[in-house]
Structure 1
Amino acid sequence: MSEHYPPINDLRDGMRVDWDVRITMDDGVTLAADIFRPDDDQPHPVLLAASPYGKGLPFAVGFASQLRSLLTEHPEVAASSSNEYQVWEYPDPERWVPAGYVCVRIDTRGAGASEGAIDFFSPRETQDLYDCIEWAAAQPWSNGKVGLLGISYLASNQWQVAELAPPHLAAICPWEGASDFFREYTHHGGIATEFMPSWMPYQVKSVQHGRGDAQLNPHTGRRVSGKPIRSERELEDNAIAIGDVLRANPTLGEYYRDRSAVLEKITLPVLSASNWGGMGLHSRGNFEGFSRVASEQKWLEVHGLEHWTEFYTDYGLAIQRQFFDHFLKGEDNGWDRRPPVQLKVRTPNDFFVRQENEWPLARTQWTRFYLDASCGMLSETTPSGDSHAAFKARSEGVMFKTPVFDDDIEITGPAALKLFVSSTTADADLFVTMHLFDPSGTEVLFPTAFEPHGPLAQGWLRMSHRALDEDRSLPYRPWHHHTEIAPLTPGETYEADVEIWPFSIVAPAGYQIGLSVRGQDYTHDLAGEPEITYGREIRGSGAYWHELPGDRDNPVYDGETTLIGRASHRPYVLLPVIPKS
């Protein structure tokens, strides 16, 4: 039996805090939890979340630069909290406990102070979360209603456990949380992404259970990785080698299905919060989650800015509070009468809030903008004649631009690109980017979830993964099987449908929309020192690089790609144009 720190019961800043509480799973493994609750003996609703990031690692210690930025840009976050108890992507107990909630933070199996081996989003990990929900509901400080609230990992696992319908899970709020492990976490359009292999050493292995050099929790003086110290070999044996797994599983099989929720089985109340700038990981999951869950009580909220920001601002907190007050406390506060969709529509410099009744918007004018390779135009006019554009796969490819807009135009929703492609090799990777250009021709870039200078939107497709599931595909959202690899015959032309993740922009008069097709990740050309994430520069596509060793280093991706346009093969992008009111 492993040795653990004994629980500590504290009274801090008006909260009763129970540090390092042990929760026993059905296989005997124990997980560690920190519990923040009101200083009374009354039962309260519970907000619970679980992650591999170390429940005892304060935001200010583990993610100091992000917290400084948050407090500088949004000082209201510090107005009602000391931020001393904030932990990365968990709810802040100082803003929830005074409102009558219990906050439960759990280290997932193998991480932090929890026993076991790390296996991201595995069925075992999902069952652990189920058991923790039911454990929390049975505690004397609980009113029997549990809600799930958290960002990213702490949002993605909500979809999974909600599918299992724990009896005491009353509502979920996955705030920027992917729901499809293959299409969103590990393979974009079938192209392996380096995100998880890059992220794991910095954010997970650094707090792995048994790591002797982990940070200390300043409130307890204890290692956030727990009391035992494991050898390097033990640590290695108790953590999934995610890069090796991705290389061994290039198509969508049982491994990925086991880690993706069947959204149609979810029937409880859902508030799905997405970020326009979440392309590459979470945004697609929240849009799909809202659209596909079977719940009759579901809402979609979409915002912008950095991944963590709006979760903690007064804007985000007010939405979360009203939702959970209604479903966990039973308050008649008008939540059930609000429209199902709230969007922060993007402009070049800001956002404005607008409520809607559905997603995608019913009044959308689905508009084809044709790609004319002969002149690089993106136009509603069908081109005449034949054209083609060839580019080396390892290049920035080709750009298409609309004419300068004479009037403002809003484009809000998902998009899809139809291409006709040939390659000099047996495969080709397509990296598609939507751009906004100002009247001077300069690209307008945006602070996004994980990228300080990101484009409007992105999409990807590996041509050998081009096969569509016709039953699940929609005109504006192609759905690929990803279950088989179908090599190309060099020189032959193939139809390709690229999913472009949802985006929003009101492009003013004088601006242009652009679309580029390249064979490598989008990068901007801004001068100055780039930000460093996971030890590498981020220059336009966040941490979602696509050069996983053993995947993209294959010579098959070093050929020449040609985009073709002729009478029977007219490439176009289907854009969601929103008419003026």
Structure 2
Amino acid sequence: MNLEVIENTWITLRDGTRLAARIWLPEGARSKPVPAVLEYIPYRKRDGTRGRDEPMHGYFAQNGYAAVRVDIRGTGDSDGHMADEYLKLEQDDALEVIAWIAAQDWCSGNVGMMGKSWSGFNCLQVAMRRPPALKAILTCYSTDDRFRDDIHFMGGCLLNDNLWWGSIMLAYQSRPLDPEIAGEGWRARWLDRIATLPFFPALWTEHQTYDAYWKHGSVQEDWSAIQCPVLVVGGWADSYTNTVPRLLAKLQVPARGIIGPWGHIYPMDGVPGPAIGFLQEAVRWWDQWLKGVDTGVMDEPQLRAFINDPVAPTGTRKAQPGRWVGEPSWPSPAIADRLLHLRADGALADTPEPSDATLPVRSPQDHGRAAGEWMGTGCDGEMPTDQRLDDGGSLNFTTPVLEEAVEILGAPELMLELSADAPVAQLAVRLCDVLPTGEVLRVSYQVLNLTHRDSHETPAPLVPGKPYRVRVTLSACGHRFLPGHRIRVSVGTAYWPAIWPAPSAATVTVIPAGSTLALPVRDPAAPQTEVRFAPPAHGPRTPMTQTDPGLMLRQSSFDHLTGVATYVTEGRGGLFGEGVVRFDEIGTELEHNLRRELTIRPEDPLSARYVLTQSYEMGREGWRTRVETVTEMTSDATHFHLSGHLVAREGDSEVARRDWSEAIPRHLI
């Protein structure tokens, strides 16, 4: 099918702001209108996501849809400023965009909205606003809870990815508008954008509880607000696994879910594999709700999930063994909790052992070096490695060798009886598969700031020595423990470099007699539904040339002279080492380099230091720009200290500079 690709068009909002859009139209759409699919993100349609957009939105156009890719206000080539993520203004603009699309002569009036990550978030949020033309959404790798399950905080602990993502946003939002689109005023608008740039990592760090800031845009605040059908997609190697089962359980509209083994990548390109025919699934969803064709999607199991089989715990995994299962409804009647009891001798058993024994643990502050990345993206070295590296700093409770397979699907829960010797303390809980070789594979985990034990909205300090009963809900997972393997749950008090440490090194004392692990076990005798997907498909790919292969480095070390543990990652050429690319149609070359260095002394949480250095260079013959940033974070007992430095260059000349320095009070964190 011949496609009409509109490189740029302007959507003018009521306040005069122009949003930049790229559009793919199927042949004949101007004489016979078709439904439309919108993706609405701040990552630059012109060049930032061009390589991914073309084969996806081109595929939708090949299958009878107008595909519309819009840059959010203040990003890419759109007018205005972007003050923060997920603002009400962002949603307000989306309502106007949807109405504009529905009114075009090539649109039938029915619109779907889709996306992953940011655009997965905002299609949920916009659906809550109920624009009349929005008939269905498809959300991938998103969240219904912006505090508990996003890149800023986890379990009431500050994620170190908060600085990583905030720093990337400084570079992303400092990129210039393209002169070929924006015209003669591009430079003035670029410099104005830099001058108004917020210091993102500090902005997010200030909100250390589930307050009104995070409640805004969290779907869990009102499940009933969404009244259009929802297809939700997640991946076990990604950080947004919990959204899928929660949405399926809580939404009051037709909803279906898919969870694969993938990281933060659309499933037609999913890593670890197997990738699936995700675009075919998307078209089936759109045909059902935008064209009124019965495609059978509502006859599918409510949840189709991949059950991981155990593998050697290496940091690089391109493929994941396992199989697909289907749950006709969620929560599934085929899944029931199996209760295992923690024992003082380190056993994890089917029956409790009455004992008044207590087990103290104070993990070294570099405990967590085998954690891998909070968010997998399919790049080398990012997956959790052999957990024996961290087992030495934790309490470990292990079953006997399994005689039969145990298959779990859902969120495991650990109930702990414990006390602590400090008012602020952390837990890091890991569920692991102990292989017959002795290697230990992490299956799921969770961290918890114990001051948030009862509420993320109103945390309360611990009373030293007082016993507490604490529930830790681990991230949802799908895994099969094989015969000959053992199940292990581990409890530590730090998780570096994933989370920022507590202000003091606390000892947590666990009372095994009152502590249990509940595993969501699938009944092997339950009826099984066969799940199959078509192989991956793509539309036309954008012409591009890799001009440098790039490089990814990932290292963890310990200096026995200084007593400093160091974790370093570095992506050269691309954010994840994917290399320097040129988009041949527009002649634009992109190079993104980023280095993280996190250091800490195992005995001293206040020694934590995080420095992130990056550069983003883009341009073509006669036009080349570069943005350089350095951000740093340290802390003392009462404050987080964040600083940032940004320089923008056009050619060899510096054209803008920004500096930030903020001290943010710690609130029980």
1:365 matched to which residue of 2? Answer: 336
Q: CA deviation at 1:24?
A: 2.5
Task: Write the distance in 2 (CA, Å) between the matches of 1:19 and 1:116.
Answer: 20
2:524 matched to which residue of 1? Answer: 580
| 1:461 equivalenced with 2:423 (yes/no) | no
1:182-225: CA deviation from partner (whole Å, max 9, x where unpaired): 111122111122324312333x33332x634x7x7xxx96689x
Matches within 5 A, 1:93-492: 93-118=57-82, 119-185=84-150, 186-202=152-168, 204-208=169-173, 211-212=175-176, 227-230=186-189, 234-261=192-219, 262-279=222-239, 282-295=240-253, 297-312=254-269, 313-348=275-310, 349-372=320-343, 374-393=344-363, 394=365, 395=367, 396-444=393-441, 455-467=442-454, 481-492=455-466
The alignment partner of 1:555 has SS state of: coil
Q: CA deviation at 1:131?
A: 1.7
Task: Write the distance in 2 (CA, Å) between the matches of 1:172 and 1:293.
Answer: 13
Equivalent residue in structure 1 for 2:26, among 22, 38, 43: 38
Amino acid at match of 1:171: A
Amino acid at match of 2:267: E
1:87-108: CA deviation from partner (whole Å, max 9, x where unpaired): 36x8712322111111111111
Q: Which has the higher strand share?
A: 2
1:555 matched to which residue of 2? Answer: 503
Q: 1:238 to 1:244 in 2, by over 3 A?
A: same
1:49 matched to which residue of 2? Answer: 39
1:200-252: CA deviation from partner (whole Å, max 9, x where unpaired): 333x33332x634x7x7xxx96689x9344566x4455344332223322111
Task: Write the distance in 2 (CA, Å) between the matches of 1:496 and 1:260.
Answer: 25
Amino acid at match of 1:247: T
1:69-102: CA deviation from partner (whole Å, max 9, x where unpaired): xxxxxxxxxxxxxxxx5336x8712322111111
Q: CA deviation at 1:504?
A: 0.8
Q: CA deviation at 1:270?
A: 0.9
The alignment partner of 2:451 has SS state of: helix
Uncovered stretches (5+) of structure 2, i.e. residues with no partner: 270-274, 311-319, 368-392, 526-669
8 A Cα contact 2:236 2:263, kept in partner: no
Amino acid at match of 2:228: L
Q: CA deviation at 1:34?
A: 0.8
The alignment partner of 2:418 has SS state of: strand
The alignment partner of 1:290 has SS state of: helix
Task: Write the distance in 2 (CA, Å) between the matches of 1:359 and 1:187.
Answer: 27
1:7 matched to which residue of 2? Answer: none
Q: CA deviation at 1:269?
A: 0.8
Task: Write the distance in 1 (CA, Å) between the matches of 2:424 and 2:16.
Answer: 48
Identity of aligned residues (%): 26
8 A Cα contact 2:6 2:23, kept in partner: yes
Amino acid at match of 1:177: S
> Of the two structures, which has the highest relative contact order with CA contacts closer than 8 Å and spacing of 6 or more?
1
The alignment partner of 2:148 has SS state of: helix
Amino acid at match of 1:51: I
Equivalent residue in structure 1 for 2:495, among 509, 518, 521: 521
The alignment partner of 1:278 has SS state of: coil
Task: Write the distance in 2 (CA, Å) between the matches of 1:578 and 1:423.
Answer: 35
8 A Cα contact 1:55 1:87, kept in partner: no
Task: Write the distance in 2 (CA, Å) between the matches of 1:91 and 1:563.
Answer: 53
8 A Cα contact 1:86 1:93, kept in partner: no
1:531 matched to which residue of 2? Answer: none
Q: 1:236 to 1:386 in 2, by over 3 A?
A: farther
Task: Write the distance in 2 (CA, Å) between the matches of 1:140 and 1:314.
Answer: 34
Task: Write the distance in 1 (CA, Å) between the matches of 2:80 and 2:153.
Answer: 27
Task: Write the distance in 2 (CA, Å) between the matches of 1:94 and 1:502.
Answer: 33
Q: CA deviation at 1:309?
A: 4.7
Task: Write the distance in 1 (CA, Å) between the matches of 2:232 and 2:345.
Answer: 42
8 A Cα contact 1:433 1:522, kept in partner: no
Task: Write the distance in 2 (CA, Å) between the matches of 1:200 and 1:244.
Answer: 8
1:564 matched to which residue of 2? Answer: 511
Q: 1:368 to 1:522 in 2, by over 3 A?
A: farther
Amino acid at match of 1:122: L
Greater mean alpha carbon deviation, residues 187-196 or residues 486-495:
187-196
Task: Write the distance in 2 (CA, Å) between the matches of 1:522 and 1:516.
Answer: 15
The alignment partner of 1:435 has SS state of: strand
Q: 1:189 to 1:384 in 2, by over 3 A?
A: same
Q: TM-score, normalised by structure 1?
A: 0.77
Q: 1:271 to 1:159 in 2, by over 3 A?
A: same
8 A Cα contact 1:425 1:559, kept in partner: yes
The alignment partner of 2:121 has SS state of: helix
Amino acid at match of 1:299: R
Q: 1:229 to 1:383 in 2, by over 3 A?
A: farther
8 A Cα contact 1:437 1:514, kept in partner: yes
Task: Write the distance in 2 (CA, Å) between the matches of 1:241 and 1:386.
Answer: 51
Task: Write the distance in 2 (CA, Å) between the matches of 1:314 and 1:412.
Answer: 20
8 A Cα contact 1:53 1:112, kept in partner: yes
1:27 matched to which residue of 2? Answer: 15
The alignment partner of 1:184 has SS state of: coil
Q: 1:221 to 1:518 in 2, by over 3 A?
A: farther
Q: TM-score, normalised by structure 2?
A: 0.67
The alignment partner of 1:160 has SS state of: helix
Q: CA deviation at 1:440?
A: 1.1
Task: Write the distance in 2 (CA, Å) between the matches of 1:114 and 1:410.
Answer: 49
Aligned length: 478
Greater mean alpha carbon deviation, residues 333-342 or residues 506-515:
333-342
8 A Cα contact 1:175 1:311, kept in partner: no
Task: Write the distance in 2 (CA, Å) between the matches of 1:514 and 1:249.
Answer: 34
8 A Cα contact 2:116 2:266, kept in partner: no
The alignment partner of 1:283 has SS state of: coil
Q: CA deviation at 1:127?
A: 1.6
Q: CA deviation at 1:406?
A: 0.7
